[in-house]
């Protein structure tokens, strides 16, 4: 697990504002387990590119 400083720096590198991050977090928390699995697989595929 990264510390808060690393986390904030990674958000900045990806150009994600804290507001957008918390909006995404709220959406994530509302998703079902299967939906989260689909999102995680897609993110892994994108990171490999």
What is the per-residue pLDDT across 23-42, written as a single tens digit (0 to 9) for each?
988 998 998 999 999 988 99
pLDDT band of 1, cuts 50, 70, 90:
very low
What pLDDT was estimated at residue 49? Answer: 80
Tell me how long the chain is.
49
pLDDT beyond 80 at 7: no
pLDDT beyond 60 at 2: no
What pLDDT was estimated at residue 16? Answer: 83
What pLDDT was estimated at residue 5? Answer: 81
Q: In the chain, which residue ranges form alpha helices assigned H by DSSP? A: 4-13, 18-30, 33-48
- Is the separation of the CB atoms in 40 and 33 below 8 Å? no
């Amino acid at each position: 697990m990264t510390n808060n400083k690393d986390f904030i720096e990674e958000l900045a590198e990806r150009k994600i504002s804290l507001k957008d991050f918390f909006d995404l977090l709220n959406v994530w928390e509302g998703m079902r387990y299967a939906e989260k699995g689909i999102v995680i697989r897609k993110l892994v595929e994108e990171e490999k590119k």
